[in-house]
Structure 1
Amino acid sequence: MTVVWRKNNLPTGDLQLLSQGHSSGVLRLTQAGYTVNGSSIDQTEYFRNFVFSQLAWRSIDGKEMASAQFNLRIEGQELGIFNLEISHKPSWESGQNNYTTGLHWGTATKHIQRNDLVGKSLTLSKISGDHFIIDIT
């Protein structure tokens, strides 16, 4: 198992807890201060070409989509394995360093919509080519 990304201080948006507007259902995969060998990651390529490179990507509606299995663990409690979608679209960057890859919470949404998780850390680890762990602590 290899840690491939960490995001500290989770905001309400990532946890789909927006009080106004519409929740996206997506965890935006951004730099979030994460480094590899002391260097910041390039969020426009890192997730698609490194973290999720071994997935079977397909083109749908102008973006690439793939799915993988994610073990979800929150505060040490194993909540099960979820088959979640990942989307990637380079044009989302729009010359503004926006995110280009997102993890769709799907059926895991009901588990992460918790106010007590705001400000916690999320760690994404890779077990194998299409199997990952999401750990929120």
Structure 2
Amino acid sequence: MQRLSDDELFDVLDGAANEEVVQRHHYWLKADASYHEYFTELSQMHNDLGALSIEVPSMAFENKVMHQWELAQARSLRPALTKWMPFLFVAIVSIISAACMLITGANQSPAPETGLLKQLNVNVPIIQQVLLLLNAILFLLVVERMLRKRLKQHY
């Protein structure tokens, strides 16, 4: 006669086993002491598991998990503008700097040179172009930060 599997033993403990399985079980209980010990351990474990209550998570925990899930979903659905913001910023800076170079390069009016500028041998139009470019970059940085803050508050 074949020994019972764990599933069949749990069916016996639950009272859901058929007659053939119950007969085999009684046979092995009388015939094998190790089977009897194993069945005693399983029955004790079965009783202990039956006595445990199933824990139900509290509503506060469930609400917190659901809130975090919604936040995670909202972050993943951010608009493409925030993902492409650095690239957009670099493109705008490039366009403005190229436009500033063209405008100031085409409109080369003689700058008033003072005695100090002549002594230092400084090229005033180049300084004007660099300062204009730096101002444009700073302006775009400020605008980009403002847009980022508004998009983060909105989403």
| TM-score in terms of structure 1 length | 0.18
Larger Rg: 2
Greater strand share, structure number: 1
| TM-score in terms of structure 2 length | 0.17
